[in-house]
Amino acid sequence: MAMAKILRLLTLGVTCLMALSGAASAQEKPPGATAAQPRSAAELGNLAEKLELTLKAAEDRGDKKAVIKELLNLGQVQAEMGNQSRALASIEMAKRLASDLGDKELKLASLAALAKSEADSGDMAQAIQTQKEAVDLSKEATDAKGQVAAMNALAKLYLKSGEPDKALAQLNRALQMANTTNDEAGQREALTAIATVYAQRKDHARALSYNETALELYRKVGDGEGMWRSMAGIADAKAALGKPDEALASYTEATKVIEAQAAQRTGTGRPDPQAADKAAVYDKAIQLLRQGQ
């Protein structure tokens, strides 16, 4: 094996190990609270107590909209704590109150939260039915972007339940609406999911095309996660199409974005929930380097 390839293998391997060991060490520290990252059991317990107090206060003053919002927040925290039954109860109550109040936006938010909670509980059939209701309601309760988001969410549930044809039909409708309304967030989400469907079908040429289009949009807004995931999808497709050198270049490009993100996470004291997915990108790059020896 050429010395350059040996060095690249060692560099990729060391970087991957550092990324994983960083995630492990972060788990040893009590993480600070942020909504977008994993929270400790103690943090979640404290937050649940605070939410129960604010919920009670909203009930006492008769603020129905605030009650619904606090129930949704409480349901999210209960789900993070692993108490899916309590989460479902809180969200279902929020949905009933929103229906009684006639507030379509709050009901739509409740339906979206309920579908996610049902899916997390393993009841995919019910989650799909709930999200279908959300899609129907979105036509009355929100603008085109809200409708696109609801359709993309339904498509993801179809994918998770092993129904790619239904997912693709939903995604194509979502993408068409997103294109018509210049909804770039909706476009990115739909394009990425469509690429996933075609990759599962082993239609690698189409998967490549959709990932390349998605990558352009992720670059435009500087979405690091979207960028490296699209790059990895492009690399997967090129490898399947018999273009190992181009695939390796795309995997390498993805690792650079991952490393830039890792530098930003340094010192946060939080585990990286994407560590396993990122490690898989390094593994594929290393495999291609070894095959080329």
Residue 107 inside a domain? The answer is yes
Q: What is the pLDDT of residue 27?
A: 36
Q: What is the pLDDT of residue 269?
A: 53
CATH code: domain of residue 264: 1.25.40.10
- Number of folded domains in the chain? 2
The parent domain of residue 266 ranges over 202-293
Residue 178 inside a domain? The answer is no
Residue 250 inside a domain? The answer is yes
Domain termination site, one of 142, 175, 190: 142
Q: What is the pLDDT of residue 219?
A: 97
Q: What is the pLDDT of residue 225?
A: 93
Q: What is the pLDDT of residue 142?
A: 80
Q: What is the pLDDT of residue 29?
A: 34
Taking only the tens place, the pLDDT of each residue in 71-95 is 999 999 999 999 999 999 999 999 9
The pTM assigned to this predicted structure is 0.81
pLDDT-derived band at 35 (thresholds 50, 70, 90) equals very low
Is residue 2's pLDDT more than 60? no
pLDDT-derived band at 192 (thresholds 50, 70, 90) equals very high
Domain termination site, one of 100, 125, 142: 142
Q: Which amino acid is at 71?
A: L
Residue 247 inside a domain? The answer is yes
Residue 22 inside a domain? The answer is no
Is residue 122's pLDDT more than 70? yes
Q: Are residues 206 and 292 in the same domain?
A: yes
Q: What average pLDDT does range 40-57 have in this prediction?
A: 93
Residue 34 inside a domain? The answer is no
Residue 149 inside a domain? The answer is no
Q: What is the pLDDT of residue 5?
A: 54
Is residue 26's pLDDT more than 50? no
